[in-house]
Amino acid sequence: MKIAMIGSGYVGLVSGACFADFGHQVVCVDKDSSKIERLNANIMPIYEPGLDALVKTNVDAGRLAFSTDLASSVKGCDAVFIAVGTPSRRGDGHADLSYVYAAAKELAGAIDPKTVVVTKSTVPVGTGDEVERIIREANPGVEFAVVSNPEFLREGAAIGDFKRPDRIVVGSNVEWARDVMRGVYRPLFLNESPILFTSRRSSELIKYAANAFLATKITFINEMADLCEKLGANVQDVSRGIGLDNRIGAKFLHAGPGYGGSCFPKDTLALLKTAQDNDTPVRIVEAVVQANDLRKRAMGRKIVNALGGDVRGMKIGLLGLTFKPNTDDMRDAPSIAIVQTLLDAGAVVHAHDPEGMEEAAKVMPDVVMCQSPYAAAQNADAVALVTEWDAYRALDMGKLHAAMKGNVLVDLRNIYRPAEAEAAGFTYVSVGRGPLSPEV
């Protein structure tokens, strides 16, 4: 099949490369000519494990190409995907749909009859109706269908998530469009990945509901962690204890410094704005958004408190800055609020991140970026682990301790064993494992 992907950002690029790998003929389009030039030279605009190799294989096989020319790219396509950004609109938190609508306008005049236009971008309920209206208005004669097909890709695991999805959601009541989508996902269909066909509006809401539910799960366990600290319980035992119940499930129950990234913060906010606009507030999600926002600075204060409450002039080394491991993405990373809290309190912050320091330097210019975790710990009064990169799981704890001036280790992801950290000479503070708890 012939596919065009409009928007060669994170979602467009991963999806385009994976569709090409399924054997389809794919063109990824982007307005940014330098990005397209770099992609043609196999330089990825983002860090995603396995992506450069996947792109190269499919470009070499002649199945994947990059272009800035939208009109010629969508000609003759069976499916044209819109995978442009939908950032939070400045000021009010609604999803900014201007890029989606601009793409719809531009493709309208160029598509051939019986093209399926697929929104992959995360868009509020009803956006498909508007995309359809825009295309019909611009090109009244052409037969087309607008389908919703949300993505559920995790950064750092996106290729695996695409090729082995828990489910594929296709929102359209048009039978011929459903057939095209069956063709697009045929290899997964043959693999028996569940494909769920729904109405377009249901599909649009599924994406928001899924992200809001996952964000709620994380926020719930984070609040349980705070309670554990007060009660002398261990949140990891509580997670395991509730997660083994199949109705709850073990995933997304890791307590930490709060969720960040390109999806959860923006999508939870957009969902509650949609709900408020429809006079149906989703109070649980409102509480989740607020609790998560407050948590990030609270984690900064946790580090300050671990140092006795006054950190003026002290040096703090941070390990991990990205919102999670295996990405260089700094969007809404908890580290940003944590750093700000520490700087506000008068501390000097040094940091290391395996992939994210270039991006991080743009949003935290006052932080000294270091070439290794041990360099970040050099003469530090405390070291705080913010992102659970694998490289930090195997640190030489003795060497880390020896590099420091002080001995406080704050582990915001609970990756170390308290006994081991203490044996290495650290005063160890983690999340949801209260000091009262004798067995932690």
- Summarize as ranges the residues that interact with ligand UDX (CB under 6 A): 151-155, 211, 214, 218, 252-254, 256, 259-264, 323-324
> Is residue 409 classed exposed, middle or buried when 0-12, 13-18 and 19+ CB atoms within 10 A define those classes?
buried
Catalytic residue among 18, 28, 77, 263: 263
Nearer to ligand UDX, 101 or 252 (CB): 252
Nearer to ligand UDX, 115 or 127 (CB): 127
Closest approach of Cβ 73 to ligand UDX, in Å? 25
Nearer to ligand UDX, 154 or 167 (CB): 154
Closest CA to 270 of 155, 100, 433: 100
CB count within 10 Å of CB 405 equals 12
Closest approach of Cβ 257 to ligand UDX, in Å? 7
Closest approach of Cβ 255 to ligand UDX, in Å? 7
Q: Which residues pair with 170 in a beta bridge?
A: 197
d(CA 75, CA 93): 35
Antiparallel, parallel or unpaired: β 144-148 and 115-119: parallel
Closest CA to 153 of 166, 143, 140: 166
Is 28 among the catalytic positions? no
Nearer to ligand UDX, 115 or 211 (CB): 211
Closest approach of Cβ 199 to ligand UDX, in Å? 21
Q: Which position's Cβ is nearest ligand UDX?
A: 263
Greatest alpha-carbon pair distance for the chain in Å reads 75
Closest CA to 296 of 350, 222, 231: 222
Nearer to ligand UDX, 144 or 323 (CB): 323
Closest approach of Cβ 336 to ligand UDX, in Å? 12
Supply φ then ψ for residue 80, to 5 degrees: -115, 115
d(CA 333, CA 343): 16
What positions carry a catalytic annotation? 263
